Each structure stands twice: as C-alpha cells, then as structure tokens.
Chain A
C-alpha cells in the first residue's frame, strides 16, 4: 500500500511569490491535514479537509489556503510568501469517519524563502 506522497520535496521561492504544495493521501483515506513545522520543532495545525470540504483551520493568515479534489488529493497554496514561511510542510491523511484512526504522514515539502 502506497503511503502519503507529497510534492515537490523541496521548493525555493523568493519573498512575495506564491507556492503550491501537493499531497496524495493513502488510498481510501478521505481526510487530509496540513501542518507547518519550523526548524524541526513542533507541528502547527494549518488546515483539515474531509470529503472535499474544509472542516477546520488553524491560526494562520488567509494567504494560507487550500483545497481537496474529488480524488481526495489536496493542494496547499501560500500567497505573498514571507521569510518566516520557511518550514517543513507536512501532509497527513486518515479515515475521517472513525476518529480513533491515526493520521499517516508524508515526508513533507521543505519550503525555503530567500
């Protein structure tokens, strides 16, 4: 069974540009979560999508947005990039209809802002 896949692995942008990160969940998983992890520290919750709808959003500005497609893959968009957006962005998926199921993570996209 293929795990959660994220692309690209690395992304280098300059201030003010826009970045698009992609995530493919494990087959059969309908929920996708996005997290920001700066400097190998804790995870900051960004967004949760389930069945194509945004279910919850973390404390991030509106320039962080995303969507979930009919095949349950997801995209995270970050507009007007700032230096502090440099981080590892992790995507996770789970069987949302059963809250006792763990999240399964991809290896992340490392976003560097120059």
Chain B
C-alpha cells in the first residue's frame, strides 16, 4: 500500500531565509512523486514532479525538491522564501503500477514572516 507522511503540520520561516517542507513516502513499486500548493479558497496547483533521473527536480516559482531513495524522502525546498509563498503544501505519491491512486499527504502550512 502507498502512504505519504508530512511530519510537520506548520513551518515558519523568515522572509529571505531558505525553506524546507518535508515529505516521506512508502510504495511497493517505483514512486512518482509530486508537490502541490494550495492558496485560500483555491484548488491545488502543481509545483513539480519526480519520475526518474536527476534526484534534484526544479519546478515553478523557484521551488525545487530532492528525491532520496534510501531515505524514501522528497523534501521541497526554496533558497529564499517570499511572504507570498505562505500557503498549504501537499506532497503526493503514485506507484508506477497503473491503476494505483494518487495518495496525498496531510499537508503542511507554511508561514513566511516579513
């Protein structure tokens, strides 16, 4: 069975500092990993994905994520946080076997303080 954990409910960071939002996963096959962001009263917006290849994936709005197979992690990072990055962030995983659902983590609320 697939599962995703986001160990932090809330992450606070000062504007201009680097940010990390953590995600760990469990799948039976090879993982497809995704990060999404949700702003108030909006749907989820796709940020980036890892399928195969380079472990460092770059996405929208200056975000990147690092895939670590041995630690089964896919942490989201940004070198310099903006106040406008404040939002709810979701990690998701899909097993590479067709027919498997996306499984979303519980979400991490990021607050960037001016």
Q: Residue-by-residue, is A75-111 near B (CB-CB < 8 Å gives 1, otherwise 0)? A: 0000000000000001010000101101111111010
The answer to whether B107 and A104 touch across the interface, beta carbons within 8 angstroms, is no
Closest to A50 in B: B99
The answer to whether B88 and A43 touch across the interface, beta carbons within 8 angstroms, is no
The answer to whether A105 and B44 touch across the interface, beta carbons within 8 angstroms, is yes
Give chain B residues whose Cβ lies under 8 Å from the Cβ of A102: 34, 46, 49
Give chain B residues whose Cβ lies under 8 Å from the Cβ of A55: 99
The answer to whether B32 and A99 touch across the interface, beta carbons within 8 angstroms, is yes
Give chain A residues whose Cβ lies under 8 Å from the Cβ of B101: 45, 48, 56
Closest to B48 in A: A102
Instruction: Determine the distance from Cα of A110 to Cα of B41 in the docked complex, in whole angstroms.
Output: 9
Q: Please tell me which one of the listed residues B49, B102, B106 contacts residue A41 in the complex, with CB atoms under 8 A apart.
A: B106
B interface residue count range (under 10 / 10 to 19 / 20 to 34 / 35 or more): 20 to 34
The answer to whether A99 and B94 touch across the interface, beta carbons within 8 angstroms, is yes
Residues of chain A at interface, number, CB under 8 A? 24
| Chain B nearest CB, measured from A2 CB (Å) | 14
Q: Residue-by-residue, is A23-36 near B (CB-CB < 8 Å gives 1, otherwise 0)? A: 00000000001010
Q: Please tell me which one of the listed residues A43, A48, A97, A104 contacts residue B104 in the complex, with CB atoms under 8 A apart.
A: A43
Instruction: Determine the distance from Cα of A55 to Cα of B100 in the docked complex, in whole angstroms.
Output: 9
| Chain B nearest CB, measured from A98 CB (Å) | 9
B contacts, CB < 8 Å to A: 32, 34, 36, 40-46, 49, 51, 88, 90, 92, 94-107
A contacts, CB < 8 Å to B: 4, 33, 35, 40-43, 45, 48, 55-56, 90, 92, 97, 99-100, 102-108, 110
